[in-house]
């Protein structure tokens, strides 16, 4: 199974970055290629949602998001292309967060490896821009 890893350090503490990446409704803010998200429903196995890629409003993609209890890892699994994206958060110096994204691509999607690498790099760069300004927003009453 093809896979790769990319990383960046963002100017925001891990708990703030976690609030951003674990909320599917906020994906269009930071994840490259996401147009919008709808049909968000949480159950015992995580959060299911429908993602619509940017530029493809008629192409719904079922997703599942799970997160670790310690607030340091979020995994997004696509039920259409079977890609799995794991986002790991590690405390860095000066109230910053080292963000690592690991992507597993099924063999039948291997031709998309180069495009996925570019999308993950764009996602990390966008996350580095959005996370420092995203404090206090989110679905857990911090507004």
Q: Determine whether domain 3-133 maps to CATH 3.30.530.20.
A: yes
Domain-wise residue ranges, the chain: 3-133
Q: Is the pLDDT score of 119 beyond 60?
A: yes
Residue 42's alpha-carbon distances to 12, 36, 38, in angstroms, are 26, 18, 12
pLDDT tens for each residue of 5-50: 999 999 999 999 999 999 999 999 999 999 999 999 999 889 999 9
Q: Are 57 and 69 in contact (CB under 8 A)?
A: no
Q: Is the dihedral of CA 131, 137, 138, 142 positive or negative?
A: positive
Q: pTM of the prediction?
A: 0.89
Q: How many residues does the chain have?
A: 143
pLDDT tens for each residue of 48-86: 999 999 988 789 999 999 999 998 999 999 999 999 999
pLDDT tens for each residue of 85-112: 999 999 998 899 999 999 999 999 999 8
């Amino acid at each position: 199974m093809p896979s790769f890893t990319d990383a960046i350090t963002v100017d925001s503490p891990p708990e703030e970055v976690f609030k951003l990446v674990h909320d599917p409704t906020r994906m269009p803010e930071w994840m490259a290629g996401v147009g919008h998200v709808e049909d968000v429903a949480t159950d015992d196995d995580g959060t299911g949602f429908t993602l619509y890629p940017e530029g493809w409003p008629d192409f719904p993609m079922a997703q599942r998001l799970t997160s670790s209890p310690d607030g340091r890892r979020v995994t997004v699994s696509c039920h259409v292309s079977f890609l799995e994206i794991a986002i790991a958060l590690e405390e860095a110096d000066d109230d910053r967060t080292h963000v690592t994204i690991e992507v597993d691509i099924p063999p039948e999607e291997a031709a998309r490896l180069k495009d996925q690498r570019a999308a993950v790099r764009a996602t990390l760069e966008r996350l580095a821009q959005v996370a420092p300004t995203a404090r206090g927003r989110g679905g857990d009453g911090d507004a």
